[in-house]
A and B are shown apart, each in its own frame.
Chain A
Amino acid sequence: MGQTNPPFMSGVPELLLLRLLAQREMYGYELVKSIRLVTDEAISLGEGVIYPVLHSLERNGALKAKRKAVGGRTRVYYSLTAKGKRRLEALQQNWNRIQAGINASLDAPSHA
């Protein structure tokens, strides 16, 4: 497994998964590939870690899981619910706020 950054990653997998699933329904392996692609491999997750997050989001009503037979195999596809869309908006706002705060801190003149 590549290098991961676990403590800072808290909440990030959830945001990424919801963002990707807002575009279309996907299954686990597809989601991991998409995360690698959209983040330009900057974010590296232990790939198995996404399943507890997906199940947790499903349990909270943010996602819906559906079994589908594709190419002779049964896949579990996840899609966003209305509650999931609201959760995504809240997470995005929170993330933007944090990002703005960090940017402001980085742009502030040094007092050293």
Chain B
Amino acid sequence: MNTCNSDTKIVVKDITKQFPGENPEQGLALYDVNFTVQTNEFVTIVGRSGCGKSTMLNIAAGLLSPTKGEVLINGRAVNGPGSDRGMVFQYSGLFPWLTAIENIEFGPRNVGMPKAERRASAQELIELVRLKGFENKYPRELSGGMQQRVAIARAMALDPEILLMDEPFGSLDQLTREDMQRELLRVWEIRKKTVLFVTHSIIEAIYLSDRILVFNPNPGFVKKEFVIELPRPRQKSYPDFMRYYEEIYEAIC
């Protein structure tokens, strides 16, 4: 469905977000944020905690509305959540009362896809994220890594063009986290998606992304941009990798 062209998928235009509060300076989460994401590009926002990167993602998702500015997807302004975007959350986004496969079927069920059809496509996604045999387990019966696999499959169930990922691996242990990074890239290679990813791990960002946006904290805006020109699959021990790390680290501080 997504042909390989270099169209612009997401345009973030002059986004400012002011949260209501007593002190206007503290409530200013984002100030004049501008960037674009190309079709099938993997873009990551990095920055210190509280730099508004999650707020930016929620605005792109349509869960929050900006105080000023707009987000365009395929040229149309975002006005609430839509099935062109799937989202993966850091914590507990999975519904504990549904099994793995029921979680994946949740979106298709809402839009009225017939049972047989949605079961089949959910089964396909289960296989894509390598969870065969676990489809009837409840989230609490799955490990943290498995839960995030289900979350990724669920976000892809309505076949969105865009995946929004809010520190999806932030609560995992280091080894699982690295497995999941490889898994995500594998899935991304198979089902091409435009990805907007948020993390505070510079290494994770370099490993995954085509492009990295460094956010300034308080208020948040794009401070610096890095195009990662490393061949995939990337090795975290490459000297070039480390060079990027140092440059980005410096940009954040």
Q: Check if A and B associate.
A: no
**Residues of chain B at the chain A interface (Cβ within 8 Å):** none
